[in-house]
Amino acid sequence: MTGLYWLNSGRSKVCSRLPIVSRSSHCSARMSSPIDDLCPLSPAYGDHAPAPPTQALRGDRRADVAIVGAGYTGLSTALHLAERGIRATVAEAKEIGWGASGRNFGQVVPYLKHGPAEVLAHFGREAGERLIEETGKGPDLVFGLIDKYAIDCALRRTGLIFAAHSDAGRAAIERRTEFWQARGAPVDMVTGADAHALIGSDYYDACALERRGGTINPLAYARGLAKAAIALGVEICTGSPVTSLARAGKEWHVTTPGGSVTADAVVLATNAYMTDRLWPGLRDSIIPVRLYQAVSRPLGENVRRTVLPQGQPLTDTRRLVSGVRLYADGRMHVSADGPAFDNSGDADLSKVARRLERIFPRVGPLDWVHRWAGWIAMTTDQYPRLHELAPGLWTGFGYSGRGIAHATMMGRDIAARVAGAVDATKLVFPMTQPRPSLVTRVAPPLIRSLVVYYRMRDAFDDARHRRARARS
Ligand SMILES: Cc1cc2nc3c(=O)[nH]c(=O)nc-3n(C[C@H](O)[C@H](O)[C@H](O)COP(=O)(O)OP(=O)(O)OC[C@H]3O[C@@H](n4cnc5c(N)ncnc54)[C@H](O)[C@@H]3O)c2cc1C
């Protein structure tokens, strides 16, 4: 994920202690609706590989499974169903990858938001172990699909850099590295001059190099999944918002303005872009948060060779955004701070400039040619959710900013479950009942306060880090 390290670190446990409430609960705190967000997909991603031709749903049809939403969750479900010979129709309100799948930072990560000890404590040994092991293999699933279906999405398997910008951050990275090394994973701590050379900066004295991960063009990956699914017989209807969901006997009906699909099963794959319309109350399980991205003009030839010279993306242990990537053509891609709940908000690029000035002083002022935003679905405990809401009605969501691998895994596993090929107790993401929470309604003021607090803590840690560097 692009940063928002505070959401990774278990520091926001205040959320999980707040009370659970019934579906009818209401609070006056409101936020913009992600599905109404007009921010377009970025040419920074969209110019790479065209979307396969699709049309809006017209008329009534039957499918084995109807899927709502054409992001990674929906597309991976459709593709894995098709591989099993099960026919799916996908209805997407806008276009393929319109949601977070076409807007993310592109970093494919083999971790959950929490460390292994916390995962084991939360889920117990058996389910926790399965979750840790399988998320460790998440990037392999993504890269395997890219390989199998020849998806053209600028894949770089050069690994990921997680850098420490404080003593506590360094200790956390060391613990995680030791855990995975003990399991034989290709991850190393890199320190001192080696870290400076790997990052192209003497700002950080320690980082982990996680070789299981990599980067992709996320929109091109979504389009590639769609193309592969269509080639196996999946129907993808774009410009087709599902406006109602109903059950009659053993069948489900999903309706769009232009037609309907009758199916034995339905998968809601709408993540942060869900509304209360299709399954009232479900939206109270998540806190949608808007994240910001920007891409610059290419850096000059000489400077670009000095920044992240081996092609890994960089994130660090600060609580808010920290992601930096350098594309093969020399353009710099960053994640940026900005209003967390506002459809019309804009990235704070002056803050990005200050961050880059400290880490990569040779880069100088940058001309940001593309900027965009997208919504992630946070859950109160930052674990993804898998529910069978009613017989034959499935949903998977709540990746809390770590969805490239996890949503792809979720789709694979929902497909296996719909096909009856996996026991409910053996699913990677444990199947649970929805637990709408008061905190999702009161989240905006709460998170705004947390963000202000974390901005201050990041600034404080930054200043302390700079003083320590000046002394050494
Ligand atoms: C800025 C940003 C940076 C991120 N960085 C990373 C990263 O580096 N690494 C990582 O692993 N993850 C990252 N993520 C998270 C990741 O992108 C998401 O977790 C993942 O894409 C979720 O996929 P999804 O298919 O569940 O949802 P989405 O991709 O959001 O798709 C949901 C789809 O449902 C559609 N929809 C909603 N309602 C309806 C309806 N009624 N009818 C029909 N269609 C509907 C929407 O239009 C949308 O296309 C980032 C996210 C953002 C926003």
Reported as a pLDDT band with limits 50, 70 and 90, residue 259 is very high
User: Is 123 part of any domain?
Assistant: yes
CB atoms inside a 10 Å sphere around CB 170: 20
Confidence band for 310, pLDDT divided at 50, 70 and 90: very high
Domain assignment present for residue 227? The answer is yes
- Reported for 118-124, long-range contacts at CB under 8 A and 24+ positions apart, including other chains, are 118/10, 122/381, 122/383, 123/430
**What pLDDT is attached to residue 319?**
77
Distance CA 312, CA 287 (A): 30
Res 4: pLDDT: 42
Distance 227 CA to ligand 1 centre (A): 18
Instruction: State the Cα–Cα distance between residues 6 and 320, nearest whole angstrom.
Output: 6
CA–centroid distance, 272 to ligand 1, in Å, is 7
> In this predicted structure, what is the pLDDT of residue 393?
98
pLDDT band at 315 (very low <50, low <70, confident <90, very high): very high
For residue 78, being part of any structural domain is answered with yes
Among 124-128, 363-367, 396-400, 448-452, which stretch is predicted with the lowest mean pLDDT? Answer: 448-452
- Measured in Å, residue 100 CA sits from the centre of ligand 1 at 3
For the four alpha carbons of 127, 129, 134 and 135, in that order, the dihedral sign comes to positive
Residue bearing the CA closest to ligand 1, atom 6: 1
Ligand 1 atom at minimum distance from 94 CA: 47
pLDDT at 161: 98
Distance CA 60, CA 388 (A): 25
CATH number at residue 30: 3.50.50.60
Query: Half-sphere exposure of residue 38, counting CA atoms within 13 Å on the CB side?
Result: 1
pLDDT for 125 beyond 90: yes
Res 464: pLDDT: 80
Give the ligand 1 atom nearest the CA of 372: 1
In sequence order, the β-bridge partners of residue 67 are 90, 267
Q: Which atom of ligand 1 is nearest to the CA of 410?
A: 26
Q: CB under 6 Å to ligand 1: residues? A: 1-2, 35, 68-74, 91-94, 98-101, 103-107, 109, 241-242, 269-274, 291, 293, 374-376, 397, 399, 401-405, 407
Residue 272: domain span: 5-457
How many angstroms separate the alpha carbon of residue 399 from the centre of ligand 1?
Answer: 9
pLDDT level of residue 214 (50, 70, 90 thresholds):
very high
Q: For atom 10 of ligand 1, which residue has the closest CA?
A: 402
Please give the Cα distance from 177 to 31 (Å, whole number): 38
Which atom of ligand 1 is closest in space to residue 95's alpha carbon? 49
Q: Which of 242, 268, 273 to mutate to test the pocket of ligand 1 (most atoms within 8 A of CB)?
A: 273
CA of 398 to the centre of ligand 1 (A): 10
* Among 160, 221, 335, 376, residue to substitute to test ligand 1 (most atoms within 8 Å of Cβ): 376
What's the average model confidence in pLDDT over 95-120?
Answer: 96
Residue 217 lies in a domain: yes
Residue 468 lies in a domain: no
**Amino acid at position 184, single letter:** G
311 contacts 328 by C-beta, under 8 angstroms: yes
Domain count, the chain: 1
- Whether 469 maps to a domain, the answer reads no
Average pLDDT over the chain, rounded to an integer: 90
* Domain membership flag for residue 463: no
Could you give the C-alpha distances from 378 to 191, 201, 290, 298, in angstroms and in order?
33, 32, 10, 33
Residue 426: pLDDT above 60?
A: yes
Q: Separation of 377 CA from ligand 1 center, angstroms?
A: 8
**H helices within 47-205, ranges in order?**
72-83, 116-123, 125-136, 138-148, 167-182, 192-199
Query: Which residue lies with its CA nearest to atom 51 of ligand 1?
Result: 104
Q: Is the pLDDT of residue 5 over 70?
A: no
pLDDT digits (tens, 9 = 90+) for 71-100: 999 999 999 999 999 999 999 999 999 999
| Closest CA to ligand 1's atom 52 | 104
Q: Quick check: is 416 in a domain?
A: yes
